[in-house]
């Protein structure tokens, strides 16, 4: 894992977007197409905004995303499908889009996603880290073993509090109790991973991720087992790191 620290979230987003674009363009040059996984949430605003402006032939990019609440309509402000439609999909012309749908026949929806994502490797995953150190909606204790690409998970209380704190819901009672999430093992199948994690509310999760051994109570620690992970921080999210700890990942 390589860790880079930037002064603020806009500069973090621009740097991460440039690296993401380079990876996508490399895949397009080599194979004529690229496959991309996107995460959502407040921490991804600047990266996605900057990525749209990068010189990528989006008509050659297949898009997948990480997770969605079960039973939440796409019209709801907290829907991650709506998030991507408004902030990314509606602004570029993609080769294909594979959204996680938590409405209707959930099992059938997951089966379609499974078939699509297993057609070819994923070139790049933009994977955030939550305040409880979750990746996607794999809250602690995360399942590091399940091999299905997408799974149904129960959201823990800290995860729900994050969603309220980011303004998506009025209180935790309104946050759905379950979601469809890309599994940890599927995330690790991405050929390359870029993790953009700005803001002071993520400082504790980042410190635990870097200082602790791999363990399911800090799910993001599993990213350290991947062969190609770039972790982009701003000064706020890196504020809990000692110089010695940070040096281990430079």
Residue spans of the domains in the chain: they are 2-197+211-247
The token pair that represents 147 in the structure block: 């091999």
Q: What angle do CA 48, 207, 166 make, to 5 degrees?
A: 45
Range 52-86 burial, b when 16+ CB lie within 10 A, else e = eebebbbebbbbbbbbbbbebeeebebbbbbbbee
166 vs 134: CA distance, rounded Å = 16
The confidence score (pLDDT) of residue 250 equals 83
C-alpha 223/C-alpha 74 separation (Å) is: 30
Encoding tokens for residue 166? 């980011």
The per-residue pLDDT for 192 is: 98
Q: Which CATH number fits domain 2-197+211-247: 3.40.190.10, 3.40.50.1360, 3.50.50.60, 3.30.70.2740?
A: 3.40.50.1360
The answer to pTM > 0.85 is: yes
d(CA 215, CA 100): 27
Which residue ranges of the chain lie beneath pLDDT 50? none
């Amino acid at each position: 894992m390589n860790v880079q620290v930037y002064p603020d979230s806009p500069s973090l987003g621009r740097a991460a977007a440039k690296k993401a674009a380079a990876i996508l363009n490399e895949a397009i040059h080599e194979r004529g197409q690229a496959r991309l996984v996107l995460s959502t949430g407040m921490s991804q605003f600047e990266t996605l905004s900057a990525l749209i402006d990068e010189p990528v032939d989006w008509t050659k990019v297949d898009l997948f995303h990480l997770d969605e609440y079960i039973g939440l309509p796409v019209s709801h402000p907290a829907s991650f499908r709506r998030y991507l439609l408004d902030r990314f999909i509606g602004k570029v012309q993609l080769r294909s889009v594979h959204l996680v749908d938590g409405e209707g026949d959930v099992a059938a929806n997951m089966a379609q996603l499974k078939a699509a994502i297993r057609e070819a490797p994923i070139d790049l995953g933009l994977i955030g880290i939550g305040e409880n150190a979750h990746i996607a909606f794999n809250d602690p204790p995360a399942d590091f073993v399940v091999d299905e690409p997408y799974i149904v998970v129960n959201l823990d209380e800290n995860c729900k509090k994050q969603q309220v704190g980011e303004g998506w819901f009025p209180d935790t009672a309104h946050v759905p109790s379950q979601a469809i999430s890309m599994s940890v093992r599927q995330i690790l199948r991405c050929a390359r991973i870029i993790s953009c994690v700005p803001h002071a509310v993520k400082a504790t999760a980042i410190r635990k991720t870097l200082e602790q051994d791999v363990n399911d109570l800090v799910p993001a620690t599993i990213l350290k087992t991947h062969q190609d992970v770039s972790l982009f921080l701003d000064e706020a999210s890196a504020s809990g790191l000692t110089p010695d700890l940070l040096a281990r990942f430079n």
